[in-house]
Chains A and B, each alone.
Chain A
Amino acid sequence: MSITVNKVSKSFGTFRALDNVSLEVPSGCLVALLGPSGSGKTTLLRVIAGLETADEGAVLYKDEEVTDTPVQHRQVGFVFQHYALFRHMSVFENIAFGMRVRKWPSSKIQQRVTELIHLIRLEGLDQRYPSQLSGGQRQRVALARALASEPRVLLLDEPFGALDAKVRLELRQWLRRLHDQIHLTSIFVTHDQEDAFAVSDKVVVMRQGKIEQIGPPVELFENPANAFVMDFLGHVNAFKGQLKDGRIFLTDYVMHSSQGKFNEQGIVYVRPHELEIKGVNDHFGSLPAIVDHLHPSGSCIRVHLRSPCGQASCCVEINTDQLRVFPMNVGDKVCIHPKRGRIFDQDYNI
């Protein structure tokens, strides 16, 4: 079942949480709402769920407008960030809750719950209470509870937020596989770019109540629509420069200032792996730099450099082969040169 959000706005007092947001989620798609805190992603999710009402705009499930439908009747599954399991009920009763209040027959409830417990691999634990389960187990119970009464759409609020790294990875894979199995339209909210990229078909990047860009993960990473998206999805270096004859030429460093980066004219954004390090006095359009610090990071090496005057810095990613060809030490004077870069329209975000 597809979901359509049509020009939705929502304010809390003077704070505008959602500003004229429109979104289409095709049926069966797994979409991530990604953004920093205050971007409106959770508010959008809650408006879609019916936990908040939009001040303006409409929400449609398939073609049916549900904006005024109370949350009890929307038939959505919702997984809360801290699970919200009913602590005085067993795992079984938690999962069965949605069916019990809708007065499903006992036999059907029994069957469905057993099915789900098998799906989430918690066989034998159905009489346990939430306090006796680990974080990852509780998360799975929350998921099963949301899926139990066959919802039309699945919504998840920071589902991996409260878990430690290893459990997080496991659950991410598990969620992806589950989605591949049941093809339920799903939307989940996260502030972690990796979660969004690892699990979803499409990512919706949000900032300050607006949608900045929508697209599959690779698309967003390779072709960010603006400086914010580029900066949010991974590390980025900023320099003064220009585009000439289809090539990027760096003219100077950008001195560190928090706001200036996104609004100044002629800022070139370059990812760490899109910079090359050469010896001094090489290409025109390169900038001189001094090596500050090198350290391994995953499968590559991160080289931190600073400008000759020391007021600006940047970061380059190279692999071990490159380091062998061109060994560097702290204090070496080198040159950095962009292989690729992007310039965005300066007034895109205003």
Chain B
Amino acid sequence: MNNGHGIRMAASSAREDPAWLKFSLITMALMIVGFLIGVPVIHVFWQALSGGIKAYLSNIFEDPANRDAIFTTLYVAPRAVFLNLLFGISSAWLVSRFKFPGRTILLTLIDMPFAISPVVVGLGLVLLYGSSGLLGPSLASVGIQVLFNSPALVLATTFVTLPFIVRELIPIMESIGPDEELAALSLGASGLQIFFRITLPSLTLGLLYGTILCTARAVGEFGAIYVVSGRIAGRGQTIPLRVEQLFQQYQTPADFALASILTVIALATLSARKIMQSLSNQRHATDQAKRIPA
């Protein structure tokens, strides 16, 4: 009937799903995310802190093997990240600003760590630097011991985390384009000046996030390090390896205590990304707003 006045219940518009469907799908999705991700995260902290803060801290720091694992991780991860930072900047510059034969091969190599099982990475390193490997004997004769030593850990971690910084930087550099840098060049700037004054500032957010992500992955690497490290408690164990060892030994509270450190890093990485996204959206919005109408 025509009731020309009064608000009527809306018939569904063309793109709306019926309410029952929406409700069920949302519930299912939340349950999935909850069980897969939410519950495990909560569980880590629940287990870690179940004995109280004091117990938590002593679980982490009392055992010398734990302390060694932390130190090893603190040794290996920053080095891997630093190396990948250098590589990331250099190859992002190379790939996004120049065309050269072999560019595709380089890009494929950069993507390789995603396609290779960490265990296979470890195997490759063993075949290369092992005592019967390609380079192992020659390096040993000069007194350099790679395998079962810190260099192997750094190499393995660098391999596995190689793509992260590069792949953050390349899209940024490609979307900004070389125009500003070319302008600077035409104004007489040298290579270094262009790089530090023009390129780097536009990359800050990308670099920051890429570094954080790379660090999180470096700290958490397991398979490759498992293969190339000595795996003896106190020597060449990173935190993830120690977590596994504690698991074998049924030392649950200490295990979760260490695991919680890693989880905090992972959560920090996710927060960093959220913050970065909103920062870059904000930046976009204020740039638009600042535009003075013609």
Residues of A participating in the B interface, judged by any CB pair closer than 8 Å: 6-7, 50-58, 60, 65, 67-71
Contacts and interface: CB of A to CB of B under 8 A. Distances in A.
A216 to B, nearest CB: 28
B5 interface: yes
Contact of B7 (A56, A69, A70): A56
Contacts of B13: 50-53, 71
Contacts of A56: 4-8
A65 B2 contact: yes
A57 B11 CA distance: 14
Given A52-B13, A53-B13, A71-B14, A6 B7 contact: no
Interface of B: 1-8, 10-14
10 contacts: A6-B2, A6-B4, A50-B11, A50-B13, A51-B13, A58-B2, A65-B2, A68-B8, A70-B12, A71-B13
B4 A69 contact: no
B17 to A, nearest CB: 13
A53 B7 CA distance: 11
Given A56-B6, A65-B2, A67-B11, 6 more contacts: A7-B5, A54-B8, A55-B8, A56-B4, A56-B5, A71-B14
Interface SS of chain B: loop
Given A58-B2, A65-B1, A65-B2, A51 B14 contact: yes
A70 B4 contact: no
A54 B8 CA distance: 8
A57 B7 contact: no
A53 B2 contact: no
A19 to B, nearest CB: 14
A249 B10 CA distance: 54
Contacts of A57: 4
Contacts of A60: 2
A68 B11 contact: yes
A55 B1 CA distance: 15
Contacts of B10: 53
A55 B8 CA distance: 6
B58 to A, nearest CB: 57
A58 to B, nearest CB: 5
B4 A7 contact: yes
Nearest to A4: B2
Of B1, B3, B13, most buried by chain A (CB within 10 Å of CB) is B13
B4 A53 contact: no
A53 B6 contact: no
Contacts of B12: 70
A71 B7 CA distance: 19
B279 to A, nearest CB: 28
A96 to B, nearest CB: 20
Contacts of B3: 58
A65 B10 CA distance: 15
Contacts of A70: 11-12
Contacts of A55: 7-8
Nearest to B1: A65
Contacts of A52: 13
Contacts of B1: 65
A324 to B, nearest CB: 40
The 8 A-B residue pairs with the shortest CB-CB distance, nearest first, are A53-B10, A58-B2, A7-B4, A68-B11, A71-B14, A53-B11, A51-B14, A57-B4
Contacts of A68: 8, 11
A308 B147 CA distance: 94
A53 B2 CA distance: 14
Nearest to B2: A58
Nearest to A78: B14
Nearest to A65: B2
Of B1, B3, B10, B11, most buried by chain A (CB within 10 Å of CB) is B11
Contacts of A6: 2, 4
A42 to B, nearest CB: 14
A70 B13 CA distance: 7
Nearest to A7: B4
B186 to A, nearest CB: 36
Contacts of B14: 50-51, 71
A139 B269 CA distance: 48
Nearest to B10: A53
A58 B11 contact: no
Contact of A67 (B6, B7, B8): B8
A128 to B, nearest CB: 27
Nearest to A66: B11
Nearest to B15: A51
Contacts of B2: 6, 58, 60, 65
A187 B13 CA distance: 20
Contacts of A58: 2-4
Nearest to B5: A56
Contacts of B7: 55-56
Contacts of B5: 7, 56
